[in-house]
């Protein structure tokens, strides 16, 4: 099978090349440009393409991929909100993903963001570098003894629940389904999780149903001085409403690994450009907000698991024995 990889960086190529030795039936060509409706035509002659979180795998892209003879879209990530699954199904294209490559990688990053804003570590780091050893403005609050509200308790949410328990927090959660492994977690309706938590961390996928689930109305239900963390998908939060909430002093801190305007920025060095993402610039102007660029997944362990599962998905497809748990749609 020949696979065309889109949107690759040096670290992707190194990771996949290491794994490729174990898959003799697979050939890979790498492109740096991310998949979109214009460059989808480069897939002619390939049975499969491999895409990522920032790829545009919308209706038009899927149509072009189909015209080029592509039968398989390999998402080298867990999320798939950027794929038109209906169009793929109509064209007979299978979409496979990597559902749980390292839930701990993302959960640890979520707690990293929470600790950073909770203790102003981002400010402390800069201050000390400037020989400013004063503590003014750095007073934090303990997580110990407080309540963590986890929204979405799948693989990453489960790992986050365990981390929060390790910090001595009471852990409550909201999910459509209860996770049986989490006997120490009390499930509650969303409004109660919002109103009772000192730390709220989002770990559900973005769907049509939960677009902007954190908005003016849900923010008004939260405790004052709450810490809000989003490592899931930017559009779970209405950015304008979040900004208003921050201005009204609702949040002790906000940590975002994902944000609504991220698509053009993700994984690019735009240091010399005039970036026109106004809402993001606005968010970055607040001292109690930290933004990282979709790096929650980015650990050595996770990259190895992503390469391995993606290539195994391709091999299973060749053999006609795909892992049902990795099928999207
Ligand atoms: P998962 O599929 O194991 O768990 C998702 C959970 O969310 C499920 O228990 C599901 O029932 C629940 N859920 C679905 N809709 C919901 C709703 N409206 N309200 C509350 N709960 C809901 O997924 P996993 O692996 O835990 O990943 C979660 C999300 O994390 C992914 O969808 C992706 O968006 C994001 N992610 C972010 C990464 C990063 O680098 N920042 C890396 C990997 C995933």
Q: pLDDT tens digits, residue range 7-23? A: 999 999 999 999 999 99
Of 175, 201, 266, 292, which is best to mutate to test ligand 1, by the most ligand atoms within 8 angstroms of its C-beta? Answer: 175
pTM tops 0.85: yes
What average pLDDT does the structure give for the chain?
A: 96
> What's the pLDDT tens digit per position in 90-113?
999 999 999 888 999 999 999 999
Position 78 scores a pLDDT of 87
- The tens digit of pLDDT for each residue in 155-208 reads 999 999 999 999 999 999 999 999 999 999 999 999 999 999 999 999 999 999
Go through 209-238 and write b for each residue having 16 or more CB atoms within 10 A of its CB, e for each that does not: ebebbbbeebbeebbeebbbbbbbbbbbbb
Give the contacts of 112 (CB within 8 A, at least 6 positions apart).
Answer: none
| Pocket-testing residue among 80, 81, 154, 310, ligand 1, by greatest number of atoms within 8 A of Cβ | 154
Please answer whether residues 81 and 233 qualify as being in contact, where contact means their C-beta atoms are separated by less than 8 angstroms: yes
Cα 90 to Cα 203: distance, rounded to the nearest angstrom: 30
What does the alpha-carbon distance between residue 147 and residue 167 come to, in Å, rounded to a whole number? Answer: 10
Kindly state the helix (H) or strand (E) to which residue 195 belongs, with its residue range: helix 190-196
Q: How far apart are the first and last CA of the chain?
A: 23
Better pLDDT: 276 or 202: 202
Which one from 19, 233, 260, 312 is the annotated catalytic residue? 233
Per-residue pLDDT of 113-130, as tens digits, reads: 999 999 999 999 999 999
Q: Residue 14 is inside which H or E element, if any?
A: helix 10-20
H/E element, 308: helix 300-319
pLDDT at 87: 98
What does the alpha-carbon distance between residue 161 and residue 166 come to, in Å, rounded to a whole number? 9
> Which atom of ligand 1 is closest in space to residue 296's alpha carbon?
40
What's the pLDDT at 13?
A: 97
pLDDT number for residue 5: 98
Ligand 1: list residues with CB < 6 Å.
78-79, 99-100, 103, 106, 151-157, 174-177, 203-205, 207, 209-210, 231-233, 257-258, 294, 296-297
Cα(27) to ligand 1 centroid in Å equals 31
**Percent of the chain whose predicted confidence (pLDDT) is above 90:** 93
Pairing, β 48-51 against β 2-5: parallel
Over the stretch 46-105, which tens digit does the pLDDT of each residue have?
A: 999 999 988 999 999 999 999 999 999 999 998 899 999 999 999 999 999 998 889 999
């Amino acid at each position: 099978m020949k696979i065309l990889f889109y949107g690759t960086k040096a670290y992707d190529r190194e990771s996949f090349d290491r794994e490729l030795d174990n898959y003799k039936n697979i050939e890979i060509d790498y492109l740096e440009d991310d998949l979109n409706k214009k460059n989808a035509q480069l897939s002619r002659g390939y049975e499969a393409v491999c895409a990522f979180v920032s790829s545009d795998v919308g209706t038009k892209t899927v149509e072009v991929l189909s015209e080029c003879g592509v039968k398989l879209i390999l998402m080298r990530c867990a999320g798939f909100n950027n794929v038109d699954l209906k169009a793929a199904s109509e064209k007979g294209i299978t979409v496979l993903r990597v559902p749980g490559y390292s839930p701990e990688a993302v959960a640890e990053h979520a707690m990293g963001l929470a600790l950073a804003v909770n203790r102003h570590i981002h400010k402390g780091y800069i201050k000390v570098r400037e020989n400013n050893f004063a503590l003014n403005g750095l007073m934090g609050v303990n997580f110990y003894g407080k309540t963590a509200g986890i929204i979405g308790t799948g693989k990453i949410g489960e790992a986050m629940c365990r981390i929060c328990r390790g910090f001595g927090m009471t852990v409550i959660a909201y999910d459509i389904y209860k996770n049986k492994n989490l006997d120490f977690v009390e499930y509650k309706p969303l409004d109660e999780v919002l109103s009772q938590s000192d730390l709220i961390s989002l770990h559900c996928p973005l769907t049509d149903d939960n677009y902007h689930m954190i908005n003016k109305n849900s923010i008004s239900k939260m405790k004052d001085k709450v810490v809000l963390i989003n490592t899931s998908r930017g559009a779970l939060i209405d950015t304008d409403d979040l900004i208003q909430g921050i201005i009204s002093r609702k949040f002790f801190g906000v940590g975002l690994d994902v944000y609504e305007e991220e698509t053009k920025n993700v994984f690019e060095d735009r240091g010399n450009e005039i970036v026109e993402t106004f809402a993001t610039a606005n968010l970055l102007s607040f001292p109690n907000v930290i933004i990282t660029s979709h790096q929650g997944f980015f650990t050595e362990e996770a990259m190895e698991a992503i390469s391995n599962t993606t290539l195994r998905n391709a091999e299973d497809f060749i053999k006609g024995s795909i892992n049902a748990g990795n099928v999207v749609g």
